[in-house]
Copies of this chain bind each other. A is one copy, B any other.
Amino acid sequence: MVTQDRALRVRTLLDGVRAEGRAALTAPEGKVIADAYGIAVPGEELARDADEAVACAARFGGPVVMKIVSPDILHKTDAGGVVVGVEGAGDVRAAFHKIVENAREYDHQARIEGIQVQELLPQGQEVIVGAVTDPTFGKVVAFGLGGVLVEVLRDVTFRLAPVDADEALSMLDSIRSAQILRGVRGARPVDRRAIADQILRVSELVADFPEIAEVDLNPVIVTAEGAVAADIRVILAERAPTERRTHTREEILSSMRRLMRPSSIAVIGASNEQGKIGNSVLRNLIDGGFPGEIHPVNPKADDILGRKAYPSVTDIPGEVDVAVFAVPAPSVAPLLEEVGRKNIPNAVLIPSGFAESGEPELQDEIVAIGERLGIRLLGPNIYGYYSTWHHVCATFCTPYDVKGGVALTSQSGGIGMAVLGFARTTKTGVSAIVGLGNKADLDEDDLLTWFGEDPHTQCIAMHLEDLKDGRAFVEAARATVPKKPVVVLKAGRTAAGAKAAGSHTGALAGDDAVYDDILKQAGVIRAPGLNEMLEYARALPVLPTPQGDNVVIITGAGGSGVLLSDAVTDNGLSLMEIPPDLDTSFRRFIPPFGSAGNPVDITGGEPPSTYEATIRLGLADPRVHALVLGYWHTIVTPPLVFAELTARVVAEFRERGIEKPVVASLAGDVEVEEACQYLYERGVVAYPYTTEKPVAVLGAKYRWARAAGLLGGGFMT
């Protein structure tokens, strides 16, 4: 059992280091670990005579460095005690004698213990392989090019540990300077397997020994023949990470189902007084048309907004699914005990006044009560939540009832309000809007687990400032992404943003580079900003999934064609090389000076029939997978005529079972705004006055399709 043996060797070593009260391992200790895990480091042996030196060198098999070992000689080079690049028995023997002779000449009393024979590191590309313990994601492996230039440019990539062989290999292509490893200017490509192997072994090491906080192979010298770590550095963690309470998938789904599809809701702190949160919440539940039971709870009233009020939740007859709290923070804990006694599985904690306000103990107390009594907590410090398909508006904001496919969540209340306003003005179809606030208990991974199953939800968009448990999130995202897109707006991307996040939630800001790589690895679409998150959320459920990479631009405005082409490249999409037969077909419909190719430039003065004919061609040809339309407002083809014909043709093909994503940029006078709304409502994602947005949204759809494995690309790397 080699594996057991290596674990034992490293265990013994680490226990020894711990016993000495050290956290950093010495170089020889590092070498023991490297040998145990098969991490290639330069061979190194002490030769006591020339025969031993020759034998050592023969074992290493290449040129060696030979160095005098003497406690009396500090400056080996001055003593002529170092020879570099010796190869072959004769030369090794000669070098041995020469070094000893030099040393004796230098100091004839020096005690000579022998000659250290080291493998000579080859000339090669320097890379870095390592592992760190991220506060959000735990063990993370890192890979980058070495050297001072890369240090400045921070060209490094991260993955959750443990990685498998494919993931390790994928890291080599995830750095900006990946091309270097494939060989440039006639250089031979390096041994990629050997690097991946180093990554794998480091990943295994930190997985086996979670107490190892950091491993650094820096530099690893890599050539066409292999990879050798010139140095290994290992640092132990100060203390073991605390275990986080987890719930099974079934537990999560069971309580979430009752939260999002409740039959009976209690409002604790319901009030008749206008302007009070307990009044708004109750009114919104009623006005939102919740068809189940709504029970106001308030010991000081018999009747609130025409409903019988109960002094305590324990007085409510029958089962209750959700208790919404609209009471001041200090009252939450005792009332939560009553919720537990009533066996209500969900508490929605609207009040602020907990960790975010410098009262972490108050928050710890309610968390403890929730865990003890089996109540899941949403919040505290939230606006509440909406579950539109079930007519739940359990929030102090105004009701929202445009049912649709996107579930939106936000950590911050302000962002939640922006979500609501944007959704309302754009008529975004929503399945749920959920405030997460302090995330004392329920967080993004619980919600992902639920929305992944919820048949009404086709896309999930989340604003977050931190993740309480990065691994649980990744696991939930990986389970969800093959089914539906997950969009994440991670606030606190920059140092300034992260500092603001720290002051806001007390959350430790993760390094954004780690977030970025690991969210990608989880298949999540990261939105660069709030507006993009909202636009992706609105568009992704509307757009069909592309079946391949070939994007075709059809434009009436050459100028839009150029900008749309820029946007296609910016978003990592591929302009299709139009095959000659299709080119000929397009040319039949466009003036001789129009430009076929891609963009297909039908020119500005064309009638509706030209738009229609060319869009039909694009939809009908199975080699075309997505259309980007550039419309130019003219008298010949007014905006609503373009919108009508486009929507009609797209609908006709949809009925014939041909669904391709179609996005449009409309350049024109204000009528194009109405045309865009018309198109959007009919499944064509259209924007006025921008060539960037329609393509960005198509790009997001493609990113998801790739992450979901629907384009043969697998998870993005």
The answer, among B421, B555, B562, B601, for a CB contact under 8 Å with A497, is B562
Residues in B neighbouring A417, C-beta threshold 8 A:
557, 632-633, 667-669
B667 contacts A418, C-beta separation under 8 Å:
yes
A565 contacts B414, C-beta separation under 8 Å:
no
Task: Please name the residue on chain B nearest to A594 by beta carbon.
Answer: B357
Is the C-beta of A463 less than 8 angstroms from some C-beta in chain B? yes
Give the docked Cα–Cα distance between A152 and B564 (Å). Answer: 27
Q: Beyond A149-B177, A176-B153, A669-B397, is A500–B562 a contact (Cβ under 8 Å)?
A: yes
Is the C-beta of A604 less than 8 angstroms from some C-beta in chain B? yes
B148 contacts A463, C-beta separation under 8 Å:
no
Give the docked Cα–Cα distance between A689 and B595 (Å). Answer: 39
How close is A639's CB to chain B, nearest CB, in angstroms? 9
Residues in B neighbouring A150, C-beta threshold 8 A:
149
B693 contacts A558, C-beta separation under 8 Å:
no
B569 contacts A689, C-beta separation under 8 Å:
no
How close is A616's CB to chain B, nearest CB, in angstroms? 22
A504 contacts B670, C-beta separation under 8 Å:
no
How close is A573's CB to chain B, nearest CB, in angstroms? 9
B689 contacts A557, C-beta separation under 8 Å:
no
Binds B, one of A401-409, A468-476, A487-495: A487-495
Is the C-beta of A180 less than 8 angstroms from some C-beta in chain B? yes
Is the C-beta of A585 less than 8 angstroms from some C-beta in chain B? no
A559 contacts B410, C-beta separation under 8 Å:
yes
Is the C-beta of A711 less than 8 angstroms from some C-beta in chain B? no
Q: Beyond A414-B558, A667-B417, is A565–B148 a contact (Cβ under 8 Å)?
A: no
Residues in B neighbouring A52, C-beta threshold 8 A:
none
Task: Please name the residue on chain B nearest to A689 by beta carbon.
Answer: B422
B689 contacts A601, C-beta separation under 8 Å:
no
Residues 144-172 of chain A, each 1 if its beta carbon lies under 8 Å from chain B, else 0: 01011111110000000000000000000
Q: Beyond A561-B504, A562-B465, is A497–B569 a contact (Cβ under 8 Å)?
A: yes
Residues 194-230 of chain A, each 1 if its beta carbon lies under 8 Å from chain B, else 0: 0000000000000000000000000000000000000
Q: Beyond A415-B667, A559-B413, A669-B421, is A593–B358 a contact (Cβ under 8 Å)?
A: yes
A669 contacts B420, C-beta separation under 8 Å:
yes
Within 8 A of B (CB), among A407-455: 410-415, 417-418, 420-422, 424-425
Residues in B neighbouring A87, C-beta threshold 8 A:
none
Is the C-beta of A239 less than 8 angstroms from some C-beta in chain B? no
Residues in B neighbouring A669, C-beta threshold 8 A:
397-398, 417, 420-421, 424
How close is A482's CB to chain B, nearest CB, in angstroms? 30
The answer, among B356, B531, B597, for a CB contact under 8 Å with A690, is B531
Residues in B neighbouring A413, C-beta threshold 8 A:
557, 559, 604, 632
B177 contacts A562, C-beta separation under 8 Å:
no
Q: Beyond A152-B184, A529-B692, A569-B496, is A415–B177 a contact (Cβ under 8 Å)?
A: no
Is the C-beta of A269 less than 8 angstroms from some C-beta in chain B? no
How close is A638's CB to chain B, nearest CB, in angstroms? 12
Task: Please name the residue on chain B nearest to A422 by beta carbon.
Answer: B689
The answer, among B149, B492, B495, B632, for a CB contact under 8 Å with A147, is B149
Within 8 A of B (CB), among A176-201: 176-177, 179-180, 184-185, 187
Is the C-beta of A556 less than 8 angstroms from some C-beta in chain B? yes
How close is A448's CB to chain B, nearest CB, in angstroms? 20
How close is A186's CB to chain B, nearest CB, in angstroms? 10
Is the C-beta of A499 less than 8 angstroms from some C-beta in chain B? yes
Within 8 A of B (CB), among A519-538: 528-531, 534
Is the C-beta of A1 less than 8 angstroms from some C-beta in chain B? no
Is the C-beta of A688 less than 8 angstroms from some C-beta in chain B? yes
Residues in B neighbouring A420, C-beta threshold 8 A:
668-669
Is the C-beta of A384 less than 8 angstroms from some C-beta in chain B? no
Give the docked Cα–Cα distance between A414 and B531 (Å). Answer: 25
A689 contacts B530, C-beta separation under 8 Å:
yes
Is the C-beta of A23 less than 8 angstroms from some C-beta in chain B? no
Residues in B neighbouring A2, C-beta threshold 8 A:
none
The answer, among B412, B496, B531, B593, for a CB contact under 8 Å with A559, is B412
A496 contacts B530, C-beta separation under 8 Å:
no
Residues in B neighbouring A570, C-beta threshold 8 A:
494
How close is A407's CB to chain B, nearest CB, in angstroms? 18
Residues 661-700 of chain A, each 1 if its beta carbon lies under 8 Å from chain B, else 0: 0000001111111000000000000001111110000000
Residues in B neighbouring A463, C-beta threshold 8 A:
559
The answer, among B179, B185, B494, B567, for a CB contact under 8 Å with A565, is B494
Give the docked Cα–Cα distance between A339 and B184 (Å). Answer: 60
Give the docked Cα–Cα distance between A635 and B279 (Å). Answer: 13
Residues in B neighbouring A597, C-beta threshold 8 A:
503
Is the C-beta of A568 less than 8 angstroms from some C-beta in chain B? yes
Q: Beyond A358-B592, A560-B414, A669-B417, is A690–B530 a contact (Cβ under 8 Å)?
A: yes
Give the docked Cα–Cα distance between A566 and B505 (Å). Answer: 16
B425 contacts A497, C-beta separation under 8 Å:
no
Residues in B neighbouring A633, C-beta threshold 8 A:
414, 417, 421
Residues in B neighbouring A180, C-beta threshold 8 A:
148-149, 152
Is the C-beta of A563 less than 8 angstroms from some C-beta in chain B? yes
Give the docked Cα–Cα distance between A498 and B575 (Å). Answer: 13
Is the C-beta of A630 less than 8 angstroms from some C-beta in chain B? yes
Residues in B neighbouring A494, C-beta threshold 8 A:
565-566, 569-570
Is the C-beta of A318 less than 8 angstroms from some C-beta in chain B? no
How close is A669's CB to chain B, nearest CB, in angstroms? 4
Residues in B neighbouring A184, C-beta threshold 8 A:
148, 151-152
Is the C-beta of A599 less than 8 angstroms from some C-beta in chain B? yes
Residues in B neighbouring A530, C-beta threshold 8 A:
563, 689-692
Most buried by B among A562, A568, A632: A562
A559 contacts B275, C-beta separation under 8 Å:
no
Please name 25 pairs of A and B residues whose Cβ atoms are closer than 8 Å in the assembled complex, sorted by A: A149-B149, A152-B184, A153-B177, A358-B592, A410-B559, A414-B556, A414-B632, A414-B633, A415-B559, A415-B560, A417-B667, A417-B668, A421-B673, A422-B689, A492-B566, A496-B566, A496-B568, A496-B575, A497-B565, A500-B564, A503-B601, A504-B561, A528-B692, A529-B567, A531-B689
